[in-house]
Structure formats: C-alpha cells, structure tokens
Amino acid sequence: MMRTAVMALLLILLVGVPLQAQAECAEPAINVLATVGMIADVAQNIGSDCVQVRALMGPGVDPHLYTATERDVEYLFDADIIFYGGLHLEARMIDVFEQVRTGLNKPVVGVSERIPENLRLLGSDHHTPDPHVWMDVSLWMYAAEAIRDALIENYPDHAAYFTANADAYLAQMRDLDQYIREQIARIPQEQRVLVTAHDAFQYYSRAYGIEVFAPQGISTQAEAGVQNIRDTVQLLVDRHIPAIFVETSVSPRVIEAIIAGAQAQGHNVVIGGSLFSDAMGDVGTPEGTYLGMIRANTDTIVSSLLGES
C-alpha cells in the first residue's frame, strides 16, 4: 500500500501534471486547426496528448497572400476548435473565419486579440495593424494564454492538464525572452541594425533594442519603392553595417538590389543568413518550432553582425 502511494507521488513529480488529468486524454483527440505554424506549435505544446493539431500554412508559406483552398474548407469543417492570428495577418481569410464561427457554431479564436491595444504596433502606413507579434516573445505569451484559456473553456475536463502544460511552456518562453536580450546586447550599439526585406521585425526591434529597416512594409503585398531601397543602401554605407538578411517566406529580390547598390558605393555587404518571419522551419528541425525559430533568428542576427559566422 505504502509502495503504491510512493510510486504515484513520484509519477506526479516526474511528469509535472496530475495523473487524473493525464488519464482524461483519451481518443479521439481534440481536432485543433491553426493557420500558421507559430500558433500550431503553441497549441500542440499546451494541448499535448489531448489534441491533434494541423496548420493550414506550412514552412515557407506567406500568410499575407494565402487564400483558402477547397481542402482547407474541409479542414475547417472537421476542426473542433480553430486558432488564427488576427490583426490582418490572414488578410484573405477573415470572411471565412466569420462564416465558420457563425454558420458552423465552432469556437474560432484570434489569438493576437488578447494582446492589449496599447502594446500593439501599427505598420509603416500608420494605419494597418502590425500582426507580427510573435517576434516579441513576451507578447506571444498573451497568445499562449489565449490558446490555453480557449481550450479550458471548451474542454473543461482537461483544465488541469492544459494549465500545467501552459505553465511549463510559458516558463520556457520567459527563458527565451531573457536569452534574446542578453545576446542582442553583445552587438555594439552602432551596428545594432537589422536590415531585411519586409517589415516583420518591428516587435523584435522594440522588445530587444535593435533598429530595423525594411523597405517593403509589413505586408509582402506591398512593393519596395526605389527611394526606400536607396535609403536602405545609404544606411548600410554610412553605418558600415556588414550584413543584411533574407526571409524564408519572402522573395530575395529586394535584398539583392540593396546589396548591388551598396557595392556600387564601395561597401561590401553579405547576406547574413535566412530569418524566419511569417513561417517556421521544416517540421522535425529546431527551427520548425516557435521557440527554435526565434532562437535561430537571434543567433543568426548576432553572429552575422558580430562577424562570427
């Protein structure tokens, strides 16, 4: 009797969640549909064995330009709960989400809506919301909490399980947030400049103290103007910035034009590496997770601007 009680206690301590909550996660799993990988990964970490998560948009897919397919409609119909970013991230799918919410009476949650309005940024047009909130890990914690709370609200029998998983994941997010601050601080202030194609890093800029310049604006639907490209070239030359960056989900043409312009003025600029902005890396790689994606971005930026890569 005593041996059984001790074993039960050890299991609770090792696993970190109540045994009863674990036992409740039986088949069929909750069918979770997310738009982008950054949301899907958080939902998987919080839901764990209780959920089966599908992301509509995989590695390298640009959510600004994405249009729902016939297969996506089937996924939306089959889902038990749907998570999307909001703030105009999935600009062409907003009407679809509203139809699913009202017509099929499904829980449809815009996770970025949890973020307080005074902490949100506007894009370069000073009108359109900037949806790239996951670039600030401390803000993306609001999204994680929104996912946790929606799962608990709709599946209260698993509340203890979701809460324990969310607590563990939020702790990892806090650790990553601190890691980024320490790494960016290694870069000399004058060279603490991130130049990339489209404006997906403003939240990262504000949170971690690095200037960001992007000629294309917050949406990849926008075109980079000639003057914007010239201004970016001059910035690189004047401040002796050694590297600029491409993004995995954006055409590199703008960056190539900037490099050519800098070279014409006698300043050699290299591509410091690829950054993950609107999509994560391949499934099964560290960059294929939200935490791994943001950490990889930081390591690439720091090593390139310090000349370590």
Under 8 Å between Cβ of 245 and 269: no
Query: Taking residues 245-257, what's their average pLDDT?
Result: 73
H or E element: which one contains 230? Answer: helix 226-239
Tell me the two tokens of residue 191: 């060279």
pLDDT of residue 251: 61
Predicted confidence (pLDDT) per residue in 96-141, tens digit: 888 888 888 899 999 999 999 999 998 767 788 899 999 999 999 9
The dihedral sign for the CA sequence 59, 117, 86, 104: positive
Tell me the two tokens of residue 32: 């979770």
H or E element: which one contains 211? Answer: strand 211-213
**Helices 290-305, 159-184: crossing angle, 10 deg rounding:** 0
Higher-pLDDT residue of 2, 238: 238
Sequence-separated (6 or more) residues with CB below 8 Å from residue 228: 215, 216
User: Rounded to whole angstroms, how far apart are CA atoms 56 and 135?
Assistant: 20
Query: Taking residues 156-181, what's their average pLDDT?
Result: 97
pLDDT of residue 59: 77
Say if residue 60's pLDDT is above 80.
no
pLDDT of residue 222: 45
Q: Which of 179, 184, 210, 214 is nearest to 199 (CA)?
A: 214
pLDDT of residue 249: 55
Residue type, 167: D
pLDDT of residue 6: 36
How wide is the angle at C-alpha 181 spanned by C-alphas 110 and 45, nearest 5°? Answer: 40
pLDDT of residue 75: 93
Query: Could you check whether the bond before residue 63 is cis, i.e. omega within 30 degrees of 0?
Result: no
Mean pLDDT of the chain: 85
User: Rounded to whole angstroms, how far apart are CA atoms 82 and 151?
Assistant: 10
Tell me the two tokens of residue 42: 């958080």
Query: Taking residues 39-43, what's their average pLDDT?
Result: 97
